[in-house]
Chains A and B, each alone.
Chain A
Amino acid sequence: MKVVKLLLYLVLSGVAGCSGLQSALDVHGMPATHLKHLMTAFFWICAIVWLLVIVTLIYALVRSHTADASTQLDGPRTRIAVSGAVAATAVIITGLTIASFYTTRSIDTRMGDAITIAVKGEQWWWRVRYPNPDWVLEFETANEIHIPVGRDVRLQLESANVIHSFWVPSLAGKQDLVPGRSNTLLIRAERPGVYRGQCAEFCGLQHSHMGILVVAEDEASFSRWLASQRVVRSRTMDDEAAAGERVFLAKPCAACHTVRGTFATGISGPDLTHVGSRRTIGAGLLETTRGSLAAWIADPQTLKPGNNMPMVPLTSDELRQVSRYMDVLR
């Protein structure tokens, strides 16, 4: 069985052959694992059927045709063979249909009480909210979802603009975010890790750059992260960062972005309260470093043409200060 699995993996993953961050074959979560088993079964059954058809075709072409020049074409042998093949097809597709049905059922079965996280599709980034009955404990972040390992997580998927699709293949299949509807998707990571996904439904100009990271960590790290995200505004700020904050609040930045604990309460862009702690900026576009932050602020339209962040003219000092400010928002 191990050999077969390895072979399948080689066949399916082809020349590139590496375990990608974002692959339906590199599974680390319960639904994705069930799906991979089903896909493996489908692959082998279909491959065998295809081989049988092709072998039959080749044999039919090369066999000697001299003997049967006058054979009755619709003789009983042919009829039995064709009917048998159709019957076999019926059996196979019935089996595959039943297998699909049971896989769907097992994916939707919850193991315990689930955490709920609200995900909203934006053009072209993900708005992530951790709801809490106590509104003080509720917070919003973007493009990065943290989940505890081994627990069911219920993602509530909505969109207020166009249709998007949430897909982190290592954890689960995709689910659309449809305006006017609320869909849910159950995910569960079995191992700690960072799993990449991206929008799978065409949503306009920057559909290509709408990545999302799911960070699965143990319960203790997850609680620490939750606590750190609930904090408003970073307290450790040097002079440069403080200057950056003043620029941020004076310039148009604050009209679109929120930094909790300041007057910046815009909601059309991502919440930046802890932007420095997130692994990427621009929805998976660049790794978060002070340099990439500065590059993004200086010219967002070249890095991600058509996105909704305008270029705000800043002097080089201001740019340095704002990027420092972003960097310390951890």
Chain B
Amino acid sequence: MTVGSPERDTRDSRLTDSELQRQLAVTWGSAGGLWNALSNVDHKVIGRRYIVTAFVFLALGGVLSLAMRLQLSQPEARFIGPDRYNQIFTMHGTNMMFLFAVPVMEAMAVYLVPLMVGTRNIAFPRLNAFSYWMFLAGGILLWVAFAIDTGPDVGWFAYVPLAGPQYGTGKRADIWAQMITFTEISALAVSLELVVTILKQRAPGMALNRIPLFVWSILVTSFLVILAMPAIMIASTSLILDRLVGTHFFNPAEGGDVLLWQHLFWFFGHPEVYIIFLPAVGMVSTIIATFTQRPVFGYLAMVMALITTGVLAFGLWVHHMFVAGLPRLGASFFTASSMAIALPAGLQIFCWLATIWWGRPIFRTPFLFVLGFIFTFVIGGMTGVMVASVPFDTQVHDTYFVVAHFHYVLVGGALFPLLGAIYYWFPKFTGRMMSERLGKWVFGLIVLGFNLTFFPMHILGLQGMPRRIYTYQPEMPWGGLNMFISLSALILTTGFLLFFIDVIRSARHGKSAGANPWRASTLEWATPSPPPCYNFQRIPVVGDSTPVWTDCEVLTVASGLRVDRRELLITGVVDASPEARESSPDHSVWPFWTAIAAALVLIWSIFTPWAVVWGAVPVATALTGWFWPKGKPEDES
């Protein structure tokens, strides 16, 4: 609208607050309607969709676990047959890892990171929209397949030869492998966006040593995704090729190797644990700082611990293969490296304890979940030290002991902080508070229900109960504990039901929150709740690591950005000194069409290799539409 005006552009420095808000809303906003919803590239809109979708998958995966607990509640039960049960436990693991845990952590980052670093949108916002549609398509593929009884039944790890062409007949294993491709694409896309956003779009003055710990954890996580995902990409693609065109990567009879699959899978699979856990660590640090009203002790040590964990994560994968028959000396090396991960993990726990020690704890729901996290996760860490030992592992590997261990690590270590984070950031997402009274019930039921459900599994494992069995014989002494576990799972379920009720109720009727209800220190609280489409009216300038505490009245801001087009401030990697103004892409429906075309190719190629040839046409068409030059000056800048 200012095209042709004498100044050629409109800068925020010469507008009054109300006029600035109006112009920014025009430039960054989106009208209603389905079409605009499909083309929206606002990181908050996409982040919210991601989070909601991931929680839907959590609920679905939870229903599957209840089905398993029903079947296992008594010996030789006949509620679910072996074929369906194998699909159910495969779906549970695959769904929870690929459709809930990793996406939900990235979703939180997609929503929060641009706000926390003080910018207006994520880098590559159209790629971000594309990644969501791909994630959604992968999830739908998996669940539709399950609904029509072609759900994968080879375990979430899909070991060959069971998942290979000879033993995994039908299309079930292909569905699994292709679902992996969908989530790989979306996770890689999001990680690239986050790395660029964190390194190049931070508010002026937010030098590397002033980045919030959550943002550090996301930066390390994103690098883990970028380095680990290619391994599973090679693995799942090789598997599909083995199954579709007979490449024999994993067929020992034709010179392939069965263990190659395990190496590739776990080279991704172990970092995967930290891809889920590190963002949770960042959430814990954030919540502890706010609810003790102090910065977390040992900022540098915490950052170093995150990076060390990220590096070590790539040196541990063989501890998933201790009983596969590798040489003992090599295995011992991996015992040492797996144990070493206790050092950065311990360091972080000690730093949090020190912060709580010197702080004044405020016992609100997010903080309670952090306490539940420490109580539960440290048990998971201890059993982690146990399974890291080769000889110890030979007794508990592939038993319920390991089931207990990784649920302590993933639920205690990642889901509890995530629930705390939802309680913590819900006011920012919606502008409304969740119920404190219900929140305490949710916390109590979930932490109690979880420990009652999963602790006895350690004992079952030591008593010889293997994983992935659909039933057990009456003469085995496991019936009592299994019944106890199944009943305890009901407590856990009640907790989750209350949580969902609280979320839905509070989104409509919750108490109004205000910009900063917790008196927190990071930049996302320096903007209204929920944040406007342009995030910050003016880009904040940061002088230390707790900007909102330091400048609690008025935040220093930078000005000079254009408001008649989408413009971001690009800053230096190390010291975040302003470097350039950069345009940010506008809403576009092409990422949606590209995702549809790509999904078509991927699903079609389960059935014939020709899909790759003919499917290239719609993908190329959609990408051409996506990148078609608009003739506007910002496209050429």
Question: Which residues of chain B come closer than 8 Å to A173, judged between CB atoms?
Answer: 323, 391, 393-395, 397
Which of B119-127, B328-336, B431-439, B543-551 forms contacts with chain A? B328-336
**A residues less than 8 Å from B375 (CB atoms):** 54, 57
CB distance from A57 to the nearest CB of B (A): 6
B257 contact set on A, CB distance < 8 A: 180
B351: Cβ under 8 A from any A Cβ: yes
Binary B-proximity of A179-223 (CB < 8 A = 1, otherwise 0): 111010000000000001111111111111101000000000000
Give Cα distance in the complex from A303 to B159, angstroms: 27
CB A9 to nearest CB in B, in angstroms, measures: 10
Q: How far is the CB of A215 from chain B (nearest CB, A)?
A: 17
By a CB distance below 8 angstroms, the chain A residues around B473 are 209, 211, 284-285
Contact flags B438-477 to A (C-beta < 8 A → 1, else 0): 0000000000000000001001001110111111110111
Inter-subunit contact A100/B392 (CB<8 Å): yes
- Inter-chain contact B324/A16, CB cutoff 8 Å: no
- Give A305 to B85 CA distance when docked, in angstroms: 12
Q: Is the CB of B395 within 8 A of A100?
A: no
Q: Is B231 an interface residue (CB 8 A)?
A: no
Which listed residue (A32, A38, A61, A165) contacts B361, Cβ 8 A? A61
Q: Does A73 contact B358, Cβ atoms closer than 8 Å? A: yes
Q: Is B347 an interface residue (CB 8 A)?
A: yes
Contact between A169 and B395, CB atoms less than 8 A apart: yes
Which residues of B lie under 8 Å from residue A97 when comparing CB positions? 335-336, 339, 389
- Structural contact, A68 and B323, CB atoms closer than 8 A: no
- Given contacts A46-B386, A65-B359, A78-B297, A179 and B258 within 8 Å (CB-CB): yes
The 8 Å CB contact of B386, one of A42, A63, A181, is A42
Give the CA-CA distance A32 to B396 in the complex, in Å.
Answer: 12
B350 touches A86 (CB 8 A): yes
Task: Give the Cβ gap from B236 to chain A, nearest Cβ, in Å.
Answer: 18
Q: What 1/0 mask marks residues of chain B from 394 to 406 whose CB sits below 8 Å from any chain A CB?
A: 1111110000000
Q: How many residues of B contact A (CB 8 A)?
A: 85
- Residue in contact with A93 in the complex, picked from B325, B342, B357, CB distance below 8 Å: B342
How many A residues touch the partner, as a band? Answer: 35 or more
Q: What separation, in Å, do the CA atoms of A102 and B83 have in the docked complex?
A: 42
Quick check: is B170 within 8 A (CB to CB) of the other chain? no
* Pairwise interchain contact A23-B462, C-beta atoms closer than 8 A: yes
Closest to A53 in B: B378
Q: For A142, what are the chain B residues with a Cβ–Cβ distance below 8 Å? A: none
Q: Write the chain B residue with the least CB distance to A169.
A: B464
A107 and B391 contact, CB distance less than 8 A: yes
**Within B354-411, which residues are at the interface with A (CB < 8 Å)?**
354-361, 371, 374-375, 378-379, 382-383, 385-386, 389-399
Contact A183 B325 (CB under 8 A): yes
B456 touches A14 (CB 8 A): yes
Given A12-B459, A71-B358, A93-B385: A178 touches B258 (CB 8 Å cut-off): yes
Q: Which residues of A contact B83 (CB under 8 A)?
A: 205, 305-306
* Docked pose: A32 CA to B349 CA in angstroms: 34
A25 within 8 A of B: yes
**Which residues of A lie under 8 Å from residue B325 when comparing CB positions?**
175-176, 178, 181, 183
**CA of A16 to CA of B75 in the docked complex: distance in angstroms?**
15
Q: Which B residues lie within 8 Å of A113 (CB)?
A: none
For B342, the closest partner residue in chain A by CB is A93
**How far apart are the CA atoms of A81 and B324 in the complex, in Å?**
41
Q: Are A163 and B258 in contact (CB under 8 A)?
A: yes
Nearest chain B CB to A118 CB, angstrom units:
15
Nearest B residue to A203 via CB reads B162
CA distance A211 to B359 in the complex (A): 56
| Contact status A16-B463, CB under 8 Å | yes
Task: Name the segment of B208-216, B478-486, B622-630 touching the other chain.
Answer: B478-486
A172 to B464, CA, bound (A): 12
Once bound together, how far apart are the Cα atoms of A73 and B360, in whole Å?
Answer: 12
CB distance from B134 to the nearest CB of A (A): 29
**Chain A residues near B342 (CB, 8 Å)?**
89, 93
B480 touches A16 (CB 8 A): yes
Asked whether, in the complex, the Cβ of B358 is within 8 Å of the Cβ of A22, the reply is no
Residues of B within 8 A of A94 (CB): 339
Name the residue in A21, A169, A306 with the highest tally of chain B Cβ atoms < 10 Å from its Cβ: A169
Neighbouring B residues of A57 by C-beta, 8 Å: 353, 356, 371, 374-375
For residue A7, CB closer than 8 A to chain B, the reply is no
Which residues of chain A are near B339, meaning CB under 8 Å?
93-94, 96-97
Find B395's partner among A56, A174, A183, A202 (CB 8 Å cutoff): A174
Name 14 A/B residue pairs within 8 A (Cβ), A-sorted.
A20-B477, A24-B464, A25-B462, A54-B374, A56-B357, A73-B297, A103-B391, A174-B394, A175-B323, A176-B323, A176-B324, A196-B464, A202-B155, A207-B470
Given contacts A38-B389, A47-B382, 11 further A-B contacts (CB under 8 A): A13-B459, A46-B382, A60-B361, A61-B356, A61-B361, A74-B298, A90-B343, A103-B391, A161-B167, A200-B466, A306-B83
7 A-B pairs with the lowest CB-CB distances in the bound complex, closest first: A173-B394, A180-B252, A22-B464, A46-B382, A208-B469, A183-B325, A100-B389
